[in-house]
Structure 1
Amino acid sequence: MIFGGRAMAPGGDETAPVAEQLPGNQQASESPEPSAEVLKEKSMEELVQAYHDLPLMDAHNHNAAGGKYRSMIPKWDESGVDRIVLFGAVSEPAAEATDETAWEAYQNNPDRFIPFTSGINLLEQAGLDKLRKNLERGYFGLGEIAAASQYSPALAQVEWKTEHPMDGILPEIYALCAEYQAPVLLHIDPLNGTPVSKLQEALAAYPDTTFILAHANVFNSPGNLEAWLEAYPNLYADFFAGFTVFNPESANVLEDFIPVIRKFPDRIVLSTDSGFGLSSEELAIEAMYRLIDKLDDSELAERIAYSNMNGLIERQPATRTQLEKIRGLGGEDDSGLDLATLSKREAGEWLIRNGKEG
């Protein structure tokens, strides 16, 4: 997540990210209204209507915090957001509770919610054990986690953050995520200096791990993003279009990033970051549609809006814990199940349908 006012380090440049706060403790600066230029474009209603057949997934959403996801369901329905990667607090003990809230949402509606776990202590061995337990249980990824944060008034002091992306137990975490084919969503600030060099070290050392760089377009140049994606095929970019469209602190416009998106069509995912720093989450959803509209390419739009993130979910195999539960419920006698090829998603949905936690 990001914050609406820039926090510059001594000697920092315009690529340094803004400070960050968590849901429920937001103190964002006053959010701008859409510019006159934006108002001349299609309305939100027109965009939703134009792309109503396009599946749309929010790849980074904090609305497990405070159970806000419940009040967002009608808004997601109205705006055509089909699925949500859901978590809450970041790299602190409070995230353990929001992990459970995300799990509850998934249990009640597995077609819409994809739970990630962010309540992991990144500094102690117990965190690795907890992550394995959660991935075995059926969580689909790790994140958002604070892999580096120097300037955020919230994340710079969270109890479980690391100093850089190779600190603490992160190397062991990356190996574990590769074992489960689960992606890891990293918050990194600033996006320069040691945090970036250590990210590059991690990307090179763990080529079988899928890294998603959170809000990769925020206080970052298209050139930087292109270079990193070019160098590291295991890196994905979480694109928070709401920042680029509606936050006056952005030095770029959507058109600046479109060549990068076209060059790496399989490694960009779209997100709202729960509308952080904007006057509403709906603006962040609108910005996703504005990017889709500017692409003018239905195949590319479908990839970044849905298929890229969905592919990271669908590839994950059923876990040993899930398979043991299914066998215990007589799943081996279900002619519709092939336990040898069952995915984590399929296993979770079967368990939910059969009254056993997914």
Structure 2
Amino acid sequence: MNKRTVAASSLVVVLAAGAAVLGFQLFSEREPDGEQALGAVITPAKADPPSSPSPAASTTESKSLDELVAKYGELPLIDSHNHDAASYANLSKLPLLDYQEIDKLVLFGDVSEPSAVYTDLAAWEAYKRNPDRIIPFFSGVNLLDESGLETSRNNLEKGYFGIGELAAASTNSPVLANVAWKTQHPMDGILPDMYKLAAEYDVPLLLHIDPPSGYPMDKLEEALRAYPETTIIFAHANAYSTPDRVRRLLADHPNLYADFFAGFTAFNPGSSHQLEDYVPVMKEFPDRFVLSTDSGYGLEGGYRKAVEAMYLMLDVLGDGELVRKIAGANMQALIDRQMATETQLEQIRKLDEAAGVKRDLSKLTKAEAGNILIEAGKA
């Protein structure tokens, strides 16, 4: 039986007080090079911009989601950018969020503002309840104060697998442009120290940058050069960026990954490209693309439409090994390489001492340590 058809595929997310619905609305304006810029806002879902099939949809929407799942359903698929920890605000409700077509998701909530501290906790609680399916990231970091480094180190020691999404630059968004903890550019505030911390813990750092050209991108490239051991994921890299621009960035910076929001290219009317346009770039850099839904923001049909776009991307790739990598193996590799933290190891040593056992912890990964602590009720 396909694992996505069983009831166990459902996900219970514990809610965080004060969390709000998180969405990403895309605004466009002309850049000097003629491309459009990306903006994002945090608004109720009802404020999503109207959406209609883009030109890309007419060439890629040839199979239903059910048909695509039947074809690729046994392939491990990871949603590498999901805001659903911020989808609800009422602690008394425990909604059942059904992700039957997705094996795992990178989960966080609000972005670069105090409320993100609470949605980070919601993501962690979801992980504790579903460690085989949830990859918790955190974004409740004050990027303008040294306290943000302490918050980040504590979260990484606890067992979070990545940092972000962080608003490293935003000028086009009427909300993200003014959130309390955003920086002016990717080398502003404590971000340089955050890059060092991410490298120390070998975790990826997911950055929102708009516009995706000009000065903000110049500073991103400065950061990529200055911190070559840091893995940075460019959030929704395909939104208002041409395949040639994405190719150039990846070619120049081996520590950069591209988060590919397939739903934007396939179905958002703001897209001027088709999924097929990015295939040559993915073939050139097969190890540095990850797929995501961005929780389906801006798409008629929402999350499920974004999932459909992920499957459509797999379908146009063609190459079996390339499909496997981009579907989930690339993100999984970023998780699997992380070793258990000192905090996790100390907790496990105490458990072993109490149980009168001693296990070899020398090669324990963060994911393995997390499973041990969750099972023991100590995570």
Is 1:158 the counterpart of 2:179? The answer is: yes
Is 1:286 the counterpart of 2:308? The answer is: yes
C-alpha separation in 2, matches of 1:13 and 1:4: 20
C-alpha separation in 2, matches of 1:259 and 1:42: 22
Where 2:323 maps in the other structure, the secondary structure is helix
Where 1:73 maps in the other structure, the secondary structure is strand
- The aligned counterpart of 1:175 is 196
C-alpha separation in 2, matches of 1:190 and 1:71: 35
Is 1:344 the counterpart of 2:366? The answer is: yes
RMSD: 2.1
- The aligned counterpart of 2:210 is 189
Query: What does 1:113-262 align with in structure 2 at a 5 Å threshold?
Result: 113-262=134-283
Is 1:66 the counterpart of 2:66? The answer is: no
C-alpha separation in 2, matches of 1:127 and 1:193: 27
Q: CA deviation at 1:188?
A: 0.2
- Alignment equivalent of 1:21, drawn from 41, 49, 68: 41
| Conserved? CA contact 2:142–2:148, under 8 Å | yes
C-alpha separation in 1, matches of 2:267 and 2:120: 29
C-alpha separation in 1, matches of 2:53 and 2:41: 21
- The aligned counterpart of 1:271 is 292
C-alpha separation in 1, matches of 2:96 and 2:42: 17
Identical columns (%): 52
C-alpha separation in 1, matches of 2:342 and 2:236: 33
Give per-residue Cα distances to partners, 1:178-214, cap 9 Å, x unaligned. Answer: 0000110000000111101100000000000000000
C-alpha separation in 1, matches of 2:78 and 2:175: 27
* Alpha-carbon spacing, 1:283–1:33, altered in 2? closer, same or farther (3 Å): same
- The aligned counterpart of 2:116 is 95
Q: CA deviation at 1:296?
A: 1.1
- The aligned counterpart of 1:324 is 346
| Conserved? CA contact 1:236–1:268, under 8 Å | yes
The alignment covers a number of residue pairs equal to 352
Q: CA deviation at 1:260?
A: 0.2
* Alpha-carbon spacing, 1:70–1:291, altered in 2? closer, same or farther (3 Å): farther
Q: CA deviation at 1:72?
A: 6.2
**What is the letter of the counterpart of residue 231 of structure 1?**
D
Q: CA deviation at 1:226?
A: 0.4
| Conserved? CA contact 1:15–1:221, under 8 Å | no
Question: TM-score when scaled to structure 2?
Answer: 0.88
- The aligned counterpart of 2:14 is none
Q: CA deviation at 1:28?
A: 1.9
* Unaligned segments of structure 1, at least 5 residues: none
* Unaligned segments of structure 2, at least 5 residues: 1-21
Q: CA deviation at 1:70?
A: 6.4
Q: CA deviation at 1:6?
A: 2.6
**What is the letter of the counterpart of residue 372 of structure 2?**
W
Is 1:111 the counterpart of 2:132? The answer is: yes
